[in-house]
Amino acid sequence: MRDSFLNGIFLDYSMVNRKPVRTRGKIQLSRYFQNLKEGDSVAIVNESSLKSAFPKRLQGRTGIVQKRIGKSYLVNIKDQNKEKQFIIQAIHLKKIKNIDKNDKK
């Protein structure tokens, strides 16, 4: 029982922190210097090649950019029923398309 529990923890850890072999240790400069606007939807993706204290609970969340603060962005994330604000560096943000509910195909 204990071995399967530990394997689950290690598998979860390796899935988040692993990068493909050719991209290990490399930083995408286009993501590092990307410009985001207010109201852009972003996904939060940990850049594992940087040594930063990145909270694991933010991995995979989506939010909306509020404003730019220095080199970082203030991002609103809905945590169950509460809106929370986090200051996140641009390299940890991936822009996603906004989906309008008014647009129907």
Strand order across the beta sheet in which 62-69 lies: 82-89, 72-79, 62-69, 41-44, 93-96
Confidence of residue 97 (pLDDT cuts 50, 70, 90): confident
Confidence at residue 12, expressed as pLDDT on a 0 to 100 scale: 52
Domain encompassing residue 90: 2-96
- Residue 12 in domain: yes
In-domain check, residue 7? yes
**Domain presence at residue 104:** no
pLDDT (mean) for 52-58: 78
Domain presence at residue 11: yes
In a domain, 103, yes or no: no
pLDDT(55) > 70: yes
Task: Return the pLDDT at 69.
Answer: 94
pLDDT of residue 39: 92
In a domain, 102, yes or no: no
- Evaluate whether residue 58 is within a structural domain: yes
Q: What pLDDT is stored for residue 28 in this prediction?
A: 76
Asked if residue 101 is part of any domain, the answer here is no
SS3 23: helix
Domain count, the chain: 1
- Tell me if the pTM is above 0.85: no
The CATH number for 10's domain is: 2.30.30.70
